[in-house]
Amino acid sequence: MKKILSTCALTLPLVLSTTAFAKNEVNVYSYRQPHLINPMLEQFEKDTGIKVNVLFADKGLIKRIQEEGELSPADVLLTVDISRVMELVDSNFTQKVKSDVLEQNIPMQFRDSDGDWFALTTRSRAVYTSKDRVGKLPADFDYIDLAKPEYKGKICIRSGKHPYNVSLFASLIEHYGVDQTRDFLKGLKANLARKPQGNDRAQIKGIASGECDYALANSYYFGKMLTDPEQKPLAEKAIINFPKGKNGAHLNISGMALSKYAPNKENAIKLMEYLTGDKAQKLYAELNHEFPVKNGVERSELVASWGEFTPDQLQLEKIAEHYKQALQLVDEVQFDIEK
C-alpha cells in the first residue's frame, strides 16, 4: 500500500527521509490530485512489488525541493501543464533520462529531446457551447473568434492567470503574435458573462445554469462530469468543441521528470517506463478521460464518442517560451478585474 502525504506535509519535517534509500521503493512528488494517479501507481505496485511513496501538493513543491537540495528523497516528479514541467527543468531540479522504452512509447512532440521531461497524457483546451441555445460550432471555428462582438456577455472562463489559460494564450502568441493576442484578450474580456472565477467544471456549470452560452475548459473535466451521476445532468446541457481554425485544437500535457538527486533512480525509471506502457496508458484513458500519449492505446469510449479532431502541432517548448509574456498580457489588459 502506498504511503500518501497530503499538502500539509509540506510544512512538516522530511517524513520520507527514513525510507528514501530503500531498495524496493520509489518516492513520487506530485502536483496532480491523488484520485487522478493513484490507480496507476497502485497497479505499478502490484505488478512490480516496488512500494510507491507519494507526496501530493498543489503548491509549494518547488520551494520544498529547493530547500531539500541534495538530500531530497524525491525520485519522480509529476505535474501538469508544460509551463510547470519547464519550471522544474529550468530550476535545475531534474536530470536527463536515456531510455529506449520511453523513446519508443512517447512521440517526439511530447518529450524533451535531451530526456529532461516526458509527457504522460495530453488534453485539449476545448470550447463548450450550450446544446439548446447554440449547438455545435462550425468546423473552422478558432479560439480568436471568441473575441468577436457577437459573443458579448456570453462567455464563462476561470482566471486568466491560471496556467491552463495562460498556456493557451502563449500558444496564440506563437501563432498570431503579441499584438493580435493582446487584442484577443481585450475582446474576450469584453465578451465575458461574469468576472473570471471558479475552476474548469464551474464554467461548464455556467452553461447549464444559463449564465453563459460558451465556456473554456479542459477536455477531461467534461469526461469526469459525464461519468459523475450528480454532475452528468449539468454536463449534458453542453457540447464539447475542438476548435480547428488555422492551427488546430490547443493541447497541453501532464508530465513527469526524474528528480536531480533521485536516491532510487533505477526504480524511478522503471516507474516512468511503466506509466507510458499499455496498461497504465489505458488506465489514464479509461479513468481520467485524458488522451494517451502512446500510439496504439485507444481513447476511452466516451472520449472517442466526441469524434476526431485536429490537434495543434505546436512544439510544447514554444508554449513555455511565451508563457511569461502571455501572463504579462493578462495583467496588462486587467483580464481578471471586473468591468
**Binding site: what residues are annotated?**
220-221
Set of cell numbers at residue 222: 467534461
Whose grid coordinates read 503579441?
A: 178
Contact between 258 and 79 under an 8 Å Cβ cutoff? The reply is no
Contact between 42 and 2 under an 8 Å Cβ cutoff? The reply is yes
Set of cell numbers at residue 339: 468591468
Instruction: Give the residue from 237, 20, 267, 247 showing the smallest Cα distance to 129.
Output: 237
Q: Classify the C-alpha dihedral 257-321-246-223 as positive or negative.
A: positive
Instruction: Give the residue from 269, 254, 253 showing the smallest Cα distance to 99.
Output: 269
What is the three-class DSSP state of 119? strand
Distance from C-alpha of 48 to C-alpha of 129, rounded to nearest angstrom: 44
Per the annotation, where are the binding residues for Fe cation? 220-221
Contact between 290 and 254 under an 8 Å Cβ cutoff? The reply is yes
Distance from C-alpha of 129 to C-alpha of 208, rounded to nearest angstrom: 10
Strands 251-259 and 94-95: antiparallel
Provide the terminal-to-terminal Cα distance of the chain, rounded to the nearest Å: 51
What separation in angstroms does the CA of 23 have from each of 27, 55, 98, 263, 264? 11, 19, 21, 9, 7
Distance from C-alpha of 174 to C-alpha of 160, rounded to nearest angstrom: 18
Contact between 294 and 118 under an 8 Å Cβ cutoff? The reply is no
